Amino acid sequence: FFEIFSGIDIEHLSTVAAESVEIDDIARRALHVRSMIQRTQESLRAVDKCEKPVIAAIHGYCIGAGIDLSASCDIRYSSRDTTFSIKEVDIGLAADVGSLQILPKSITDHGLFRELVFTSRTFDTNEAQQIGLISRVFDTREALLDAAISLANVIACKSPIAVQGSKINLNYARDHTVDDNFTFVRTWNSAMLLTEDIVKNLMTTSVSNEK
């Protein structure tokens, strides 16, 4: 799981900006910046594309790129004292590494989400939960980490075939039509239903019920 408590490295942004200024041709400068954005996007998308579930444990300040990174995670927990901000508008740009690309697929209050994007104002865990950015809130950082680790242990005890298959299908479903999703899972399970995990789990359940 990821422990998220900050945002992007401003010094890194300054270095990238300085490098681009040294390029005289405006088209080449644009290509340089585009390549930099793509590398950053790919580094965060790697979390979203990871076939294993990723849990975010968010505390302290979750600003800008911190929200982008959390958007790429499957499950997001937070401590109660966390402060959030989708900060990119204040810097002078549109968020380009996750917040505006992934979150609109899953948030529950689009009006409030747009307000937070357009104003860059800080918001607390109540509003974060209201828009669906986080699913659970804990009183302390310690309780948050304990819960995240406990959840990871529960998931780790499940069949990896079932868990990883579920994530792959959930991500596919997010980006495709219902008909496409049924076709995809039909093809997927035509192979995955052959796993021995199903027989073992059914036997375990049967023995447990008998007891």
Is residue 14 included in any domain, yes or no?
yes
Residue 40 makes CB contacts below 8 A (sequence gap 6+) with: 97
Whether 49 and 110 share a structural domain:
yes
Q: What is the pLDDT of residue 211?
A: 61
Question: For residue 99, with 0-12 CB atoms within 10 Å meaning exposed, 13-18 middle and 19 or more buried, which class applies?
Answer: buried
Q: What is the pLDDT of residue 197?
A: 76
One domain for residues 172 and 121: no
Mark whether 102 and 15 lie in a shared domain. Answer: yes
Mean pLDDT of the region 173-190: 93
pLDDT class of 150 with cuts at 50, 70, 90: very high
Give the model's pLDDT for residue 5.
53
Q: Are residues 70 and 112 in the same domain?
A: yes
Q: From 71, 129, 115, select the one nearest 96 (Cα to Cα).
A: 71
Asked whether the beta carbons of 56 and 2 are under 8 A apart, the reply is yes
In a domain, 1, yes or no: no
SS3 call for 85: strand
Whether residue 167 is predicted with pLDDT greater than 90 in this model: the reply is yes
Residues 65 and 136 in one domain: yes
Question: What total of structural domains would you count in the chain?
Answer: 2
Report pLDDT for 19: 72
Residue 91 pLDDT exceeds 90: no
Of 155, 174, 194, which residue sits at a domain end?
155
Residue 7 has pLDDT above 60, yes or no: no
Q: Is residue 201 part of a domain?
A: yes
pLDDT at 204: 65
- Residue 24 counted as domain residue: yes
Q: What is residue 95's predicted lDDT score, i.e. its pLDDT?
A: 87
Average pLDDT on 155-164 reads: 93
Higher pLDDT, 205 or 148: 148
Kindly state whether residue 2 falls inside one of the protein's structural domains. no
pLDDT (tens digit, 9 = 90+) per residue, 22-77? 788 888 888 888 888 898 889 888 999 999 999 999 999 999 989 999 999 999 99
* Domain edge (last residue) among 114, 134, 155: 155
Are 148 and 167 members of one domain? no
Q: Is residue 130 part of a domain?
A: yes
Residue 108 lies in a domain: yes
Q: Are residues 32 and 133 in the same domain?
A: yes
Domain of 49 in residue numbering reads as 10-155
- Residues 52, 142 within the same domain: yes
Average pLDDT of the residues in 164-177: 94
Q: What is the CATH number of the domain that holds 114?
A: 3.90.226.10
Query: Residue 185 belongs to a domain with what CATH number?
Result: 1.10.12.10
Q: Which of the listed ranges 24-28, 67-71, 148-152, 156-160 does the model predict with the highest average pLDDT?
A: 148-152
Q: Do 57 and 119 reside in the same domain of the chain?
A: yes
The SS3 of residue 92 is: coil
- pLDDT (0 to 100) of residue 207: 55
Q: Is residue 98 part of a domain?
A: yes
Q: Are 49 and 136 in the same domain?
A: yes
**pLDDT tens across 131-144, in order?**
999 999 999 999 99
The answer to whether residues 22 and 56 belong to one domain is: yes
Q: Would you state the pLDDT for residue 112?
A: 95
The answer to whether the beta carbons of residues 79 and 59 sit under 8 Å apart is yes
Query: Both 185 and 88 in a single domain?
Result: no
| 34: its two tokens | 């585009």
For position 93, what pLDDT does the model report? 85
Mean pLDDT of the chain: 87
